[in-house]
Amino acid sequence: MRVKPSRAALVVFLGPALAAIGVFFFLPVLAAFVMSFTDFDVYSLGNLQFVRFVGFRNYLQLFQDPLFWKALKNTLYFLLVGGPLSIGVSLGAAVLLQSRLVRFQSFFRFAYFAPVVTTLVAVAVVWRYIYHPRFGVLNFLLGLVGINPIDWLGDPAWAMPAIMLMAVWKNFGYNMIIFIAGLQNIPQSLYEAASIDGAGAIQRFATITLPLLAPTTLFISIITMIGYFQLFAEPYVMTQGGPLNSTLSLVLLMYQQGFRWWNMGYSAALAFVLFAFILAASVIQTRLQRKGGE
């Protein structure tokens, strides 16, 4: 039986939540949006007289800023290489952990998930040791197979791959858990039927696991993309965007413009451009996957 809720009940139950969202989410977003059309900066902070409405100038200037393009390129590089890599590793780990051949499943599940809940700063410190050009264990291992040492975080060509590797290691556990949940929803009987029909392991994976995991994969790829678009903490802690801006991401640029140089207007404009990118990418991704599913 459905009871039509009274207005009073609506206010009592929804009011507080809506008010909180309004004050702490919509209002700041609106303020930032307005700010993106002003030249709010350190002068304005001292005296509000020194704010001007500048229309779309921040946006126009943004598209002429070589640093913006550099940051966009870096972010896309991270997203397009690191994203699929991360999802692939997650899926691989999930399938392995679901397999009955693996023992100590819960131990591995814990071990792979541990980096996700570890503080990034602590992780970064340890990885800086791993990447150390002279004493790092990674170069030591490469040295054993005769590869010359690489200055992982100091070489513009290697810094981003180094960040990617660390980010994938740190984050794949989270997606892995979601994949495991997805895998557990696939009825075992399908696999048994396929085995009886003579399908091999690879065939079973391609024709049963992947299609039935599609909704999970869509969810994960969108979440991962949104997260990877907002790459910030890893380069902030590890490289500060260097060397030669090779690890400067959009959010790091936004942070530098906003909190280092205090160009809040410019920084807000960058935030909305980033928002537009993420929105567009999410829509495209959803469309593509729907089409693929039909």
Partner 1 sequence: MGAEGENVQQLLPEFERRHPDIRVRLQIIPWTAAHEKLLTAYAGNATPDVCQLGNTWIPEFIILNALEPLDQRLRSSAGIHDSSYFPGIRETNMVDGILYGIPWYVDTRVLFYRKDILARVGYSQPPRTWEEWHDVCQRIVDTGPETEHYAMLLPTTEWPPPVILGMQTGSRFLRDRDTYGDFSGPEFSRAFTFYIDFFNRRYAPVGLMSVTNIYQSFAEGYFAMYITGPWNIGEFRRRLPPALQDAWMTAPLPGPDINTPGMSLAGGSSLVMFSASSKKDEVWKLIEFLSEPEQQVRFYRITGDLPARTEAWQDTSLTENPYVRAFLAQLKHVGSTPKIPQWEQIAMKVQDYAEIAARKTKTVQQSLEALDREVDLILEKRRWMVNAR
Indicate which single residue of 243, 277, 281, 282 sits in contact with partner 1 (rule: CB under 8 A): 243
Please identify, using beta-carbon distances, which residue of 156 and 292 lies nearer to partner 1. Answer: 156
> Interaction with partner 1 in 50-109: which residues (CB under 8 A)?
50, 52, 61
Q: Which of these ranges, 24-32, 86-94, 219-227, 258-266, lies near partner 1 under the rule CB under 8 A?
A: 258-266
Indicate which single residue of 191, 262, 275, 277 sits in contact with partner 1 (rule: CB under 8 A): 262
Indicate which single residue of 13, 24, 25, 43 sits in contact with partner 1 (rule: CB under 8 A): 43
Q: How far is the CB of 253 from partner 1 (least distance, A)?
A: 13
Bridge partners of 38, per DSSP, are 53
With contact defined as beta carbons under 8 Å apart, do 276 and 166 qualify?
no
Cα dihedral sign, 280-282-286-288 = positive
Distance CA 247, CA 257 (A): 16
Binding-residue pattern over the window 152 to 171 for partner 1, x denoting contact by CB under 8 A: --xx----------------
Alpha helices in the chain (DSSP H): 7-21, 27-35, 42-46, 57-64, 66-77, 83-98, 105-117, 120-130, 137-144, 156-184, 188-196, 201-204, 210-229, 233-238, 250-255, 264-293
Phi, psi of 132 (to 5 degrees): -55, 130
Distance CA 133, CA 135 (A): 6
Burial of 169 (0-12, 13-18, 19+ CB in 10 A): middle
- Decide if residue 234 touches partner 1 (CB under 8 A): no
Q: How far is the CB of 160 from partner 1 (least distance, A)?
A: 16
Please identify, using beta-carbon distances, which residue of 227 and 243 lies nearer to partner 1. Answer: 243
Please identify, using beta-carbon distances, which residue of 137 and 210 lies nearer to partner 1. Answer: 137
Longest CA pairwise span in the chain (Å): 78
- Decide if residue 242 touches partner 1 (CB under 8 A): yes
Bridge partners of 53, per DSSP, are 38
CA 53 to chain centre: 33
Q: How far is the CB of 127 from partner 1 (least distance, A)?
A: 17
Indicate which single residue of 115, 133, 161, 227 sits in contact with partner 1 (rule: CB under 8 A): 133
Q: How far is the CB of 42 from partner 1 (least distance, A)?
A: 5
Binding region for partner 1 (CB under 8 A): 39, 41-43, 45-47, 50, 52, 61, 133-134, 151, 154-155, 240, 242-244, 259-262
